[in-house]
Amino acid sequence: MAMHKIVQRGRFLNCPPQLITAFSGSAASHTFSSRGAESLHIREITNTREVRNEFDKYHIKGLSRCLNWTSRPNDSGYASCYVVNRHFASDHNDICTKEFSSKLLKSIPDYVKIVEVGPRDGLQNEKAIIPTDVKVELIKLLVSSGLSVVEATSFVSPKWVPQLQDAKDVLAAIQNVEGTRFPVLTPNLKGFEAAVAAGAKEVAVFPAASESFSKANLNCGIEDNLARCRDLASAAGSLSIPVRGYISCVVGCPLEGNIAPAKVAYVAKSLYEMGCSEISLGDTIGVGTPGTVIPMLEAVLHVVPTDMLAVHFHDTYGQALSNILISIQTGISTVDSSVSGLGGCPYAKGATGNVATEDVVYMLNGLGVKTNVDLGKLMLAGDFICKHLGRVSGSKAATALSKVTTHASKL
């Protein structure tokens, strides 16, 4: 029985918290009756050594697989999973589950690309300068988790973002890292030229949908900034370098308040027409809800193809996952996020971190959506940077899973 069905019905069969799994073996198997012809097969582990062995696998190697509770209708994977407490293994043959999935999940992509922005967007607002070797190690740990795109740094003036003044050194240190793309932020032609000289193979521009924010962030209005972006895109095109476009303040601005969807659509269309390979829609201050995100997406989808869009939500009000879910239900299949929820904007007072990559991967695993990201290895990257920064992770999933495995080690 799928977890979402059990939650929907509000029935947990009064089972005490226990470790349960769908693996076959010698342990006892119990069947709990349910309404209709449904049944739930639960294998009860009673041997302490077996519990430890299972959690050893759960902690690192099997984590992503084990958290894939549900199956998409066209998913050929197996249903084995480790589940803790009141979370129940999914029955892939359950008719009601398939009907539920077909109605509510049919528009969700089978695969979602995660664009990890932690090394740049996540660290740019840190007051204490982070050593270059720490940034490089973080990037390598993120790559080892399976992330295919990691935003490495930004070629902006050290005067404005001193944290990223070592951009050239960071990029040089990861030149030989294979299997992952490393886009860098470039605000203008000067930054673009510096990035190319340092070996950048992909760049990003970042206009805003707010006139006031654009002036505060880039010292120019929307139209002037778009003109800069066109010049940069033209230069990049002559070198066959892809350009990603970020749009800031797509639903709200710290200076102007609510942003009209038509403004966002105008900037998005401009980026599309100048040849951007991908356009990321950013809720810079995290004020969006599905109620404000949907009209914005509808406006943008009228002028930009779905497969060229990405979403970038900060989690200031705890709405990021809801906004991501509604976004991927429109067919968008690229999501920006930051390991451990690191981040903030130097020019957006009150804006907290990006949505945590761990939380996004955990949710997508639960939906049966592939990301090719190993959640256990991703958590190791989060642990690494959080220990260096001297703070706890901003990821709820990583925090909860760490407690689970710590408890298991004491059994």
Q: Which residues are catalytic?
A: 345
Helix axes 357-366, 396-409, angle to 10 degrees: 80
Q: Which of 192, 138, 202 is nearest to 170 (CA)?
A: 138
Burial 23-40 (b: 16+ CB within 10 A, else e): eeeeeeeeebebeeeeeb
Q: Which of 235, 231, 168 is nearest to 200 (CA)?
A: 168
* C-alpha distances out from residue 360 to 68, 283, 363, 404, Å: 13, 16, 5, 19
Cα(116)–Cα(100) distance, integer angstroms? 31
Q: Tokens representing 265?
A: 């659509």
Cβ-based neighbours of 164, under 8 Å, separated by 6 or more: 120, 123, 124, 153, 154, 156, 158
Answer whether 118's CB lies under 8 Å from 85's CB. Answer: no
Q: Tokens representing 375?
A: 């959640």
Beta-bridged to residue 19, according to DSSP, are 84
Q: What is the biggest distance separating any 2 CA atoms in the chain, rounded to whole angstroms? A: 70
